[in-house]
């Protein structure tokens, strides 16, 4: 399997624009690609994102074990915007309540050749200090709609050693 990834980012003060390109080729399968655009803007403690990705006529292989899952329109849990003939859009917002507590929401709409799927998500995470410095607890909830009927809740606990 051959996979290539390119990204270009422009940042100025509280604004950023980015573009991405994936190329994948797998033995016995035609090569294909993904192209994405993303804009971010921040106002104080609030941040907003809008993104778009489009794929070619074949499934895009993002890398080994999805470890390279960088599509701008990915949602926190359920979405997978690498399907063939996909045009996906993402809108999101996040807010730093206090330096250790962040909350966010996002909405992804993925228009595939034969299917339309939406993903609405809400997240919150808190990073502890003191005796358990660096311990992070994150709560994630996501609900899929349109041609999908799925939802998932996750509790992620991480600690750096």
Give the C-alpha distances (Å, rounded to integers) separating 115 from 60, 68, 85: 17, 25, 10
- Backbone phi and psi for residue 122, each to the nearest 5 degrees, phi listed first: -135, 140
pLDDT tens per residue across span 56-84: 888 787 666 555 568 899 888 877 778 88
Q: Global pTM?
A: 0.88
Can you read off the two tokens belonging to residue 36? Answer: 């994405």
Provide the 3-class DSSP secondary structure of residue 6: strand
2-158 CATH pick, 1.10.1040.10, 2.30.30.40, 3.40.50.460, 2.40.160.10 = 2.40.160.10
Q: What is the pLDDT along the chain (161 residues), one digit of tens a residue?
A: 777 889 999 999 999 999 999 888 777 777 788 999 999 999 999 999 999 999 988 878 766 655 556 889 988 887 777 888 899 999 999 999 999 999 999 999 999 888 888 999 999 999 999 889 999 999 999 998 877 778 899 999 999 98
Q: Which residues contact 44 (CB under 8 A, 6 or more apart)?
A: none
């Amino acid at each position: 399997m051959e996979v290539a990834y390119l990204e270009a980012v422009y940042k100025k003060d509280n604004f950023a624009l980015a573009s991405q390109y994936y190329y994948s080729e797998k033995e016995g399968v035609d090569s294909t690609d993904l192209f994405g655009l993303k804009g971010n803007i921040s106002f104080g403690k609030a941040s907003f994102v809008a993104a778009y990705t489009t794929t070619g006529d074949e499934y895009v292989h993002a890398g080994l074990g999805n470890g390279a899952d960088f599509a701008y329109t990915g949602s926190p849990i359920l979405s997978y915007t690498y399907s063939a003939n996909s045009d996906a859009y993402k809108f999101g917002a996040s807010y730093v309540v206090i330096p250790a507590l962040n909350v966010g929401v996002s909405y992804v709409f993925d228009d595939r050749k034969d299917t339309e799927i939406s993903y609405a998500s809400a997240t919150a995470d808190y990073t502890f200090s003191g005796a358990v410095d660096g311990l992070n607890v994150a709560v994630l909830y996501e609900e899929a709609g349109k041609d999908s009927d799925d939802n998932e809740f996750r509790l992620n606990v991480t600690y750096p050693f």
